[in-house]
Amino acid sequence: MGEQLLIPEFGKRVDLKDFDPGYDEGLDKGTAQAEEAKLEERFAALQDMLYAQGKYTLLVVLQAMDTGGKDGAIKKVFDCVNPQGVRVASFKVPTPLELSHDFLWRIHLQAPPKGYIGIFNRSHYEDVLVVRVNEIVPKDVWQNRYDRINEFERLLVDNGTTILKFYLHISKDEQKERLQARLDDPSKHWKFSVGDLPVRERWDDYMAAYEDVFTRCNHAHAPWHIVPANKKWYRDLVITRTIVKALEGMKLAYPEPDFDPATVTIPD
């Protein structure tokens, strides 16, 4: 298989038809999982330094269609790190309090502090996706939000946050299989929502909305990664690789003690 771009070209119109959700580099599951296991060791070590140093921040944004694998990716990719240094925020329908503020208010409240990894399970992009497709606000309102999102992300980056945005790209056929699997397994009935079906009927509208997101909000300081996600094991490998690379690009180190360890004697 040839190489497939993960990050769309900056400043260019994005067409999701150019990205194969089944792409896997020609790897097999065992090889991919072996590579991920090695990366997890490095991930754990880097996250330990990030937490101890308390100087930098990593924000991971996960977006996907229903059954795209956001929950599964969080569970698998982050199972190797110290949970004390990780914060997960899920953004559902806004509360009355949240609606009484600007659309980014609730998002900024969940931005991770220095030393932490923050994970957004859905995010501020819902306000140019669901809100757009369902016509919850007028077009001139959601159109204005792309610029506000770009400014918000720039603010976080300028404050020492590295932002990695992942779209877990599955095909419509794969989504149908996953929805059916939830119906067929009684232990997964709780994950199935009849409300997902009308969303599926508007698949093309959502693809158009996502394409505008990737076209207008993809920048070097906060890039989008379109992750082939039909195969869960490849999805997890790509995300882990990307996070490890980003952490290795930071100036991570354990902080120096404010005392001389050689002069300390622990009493009996």
Counting every residue, how long is the chain? 268
Q: Is 261 helix (H, G, I), strand (E, B) or coil?
A: helix
Q: Average pLDDT for residues 117-143, to the nearest whole number?
A: 97
pLDDT at 3: 60
Measure Cα distances from 56 to 118, 159, 178 in Å: 12, 9, 37
Query: Does 68 score more than 60 pLDDT?
Result: yes
Task: State whether the Cα torsion 87-155-11-2 is positive or negative.
Answer: negative
Contacts for 95 with CB less than 8 Å, ≥ 6 apart: none
171-199 pLDDT per residue, tens: 999 999 999 999 999 999 998 888 888 89
Distance CA 105, CA 98 (A): 7
Q: Is the pLDDT of residue 168 over 60?
A: yes
Confidence band, pLDDT 50/70/90 cuts, at residue 225 = very high
| Section 14-22 average pLDDT | 96
Compute the distance between CA of residue 246 and CA of residue 119 in angstroms, rounded to an integer: 15
Neighbours of 77 (CB within 10 A): 25
Confirm if 168 and 76 have CB atoms less than 8 A apart: no
- Beta-bridged to residue 164, according to DSSP, are 60
In the predicted model, is pLDDT for residue 2 greater than 70? no
Give the pair of three-digit tokens for residue 134. 């369902």
Cα separation of 153 and 57, whole Å? 13
Q: Mean pLDDT over residues 225-247, rounded?
A: 98
How many other C-beta atoms can be found within 10 angstroms of the C-beta atom of residue 263?
6
Confidence check: pLDDT of 205 > 80:
yes
pTM, full prediction: 0.94
Domains of the chain: 16-250 (3.40.50.300)
Q: How far is CA 244 from CA 4, 35, 66, 237, in A?
A: 20, 12, 27, 11
| 4 has a pLDDT exceeding 80 | no
Q: Does the pLDDT value for residue 103 go beyond 80? A: yes
Scored b (16 or more CB within 10 A) or e, 113-145 reads: eebbbbbbbbbbbbbbbebbeeeeeeeeebeeb
Q: What is the mean pLDDT of residues 19-31?
A: 96
Decide if 210 contacts 149 (C-beta within 8 A).
Answer: no
Confidence of residue 260 (pLDDT cuts 50, 70, 90): confident
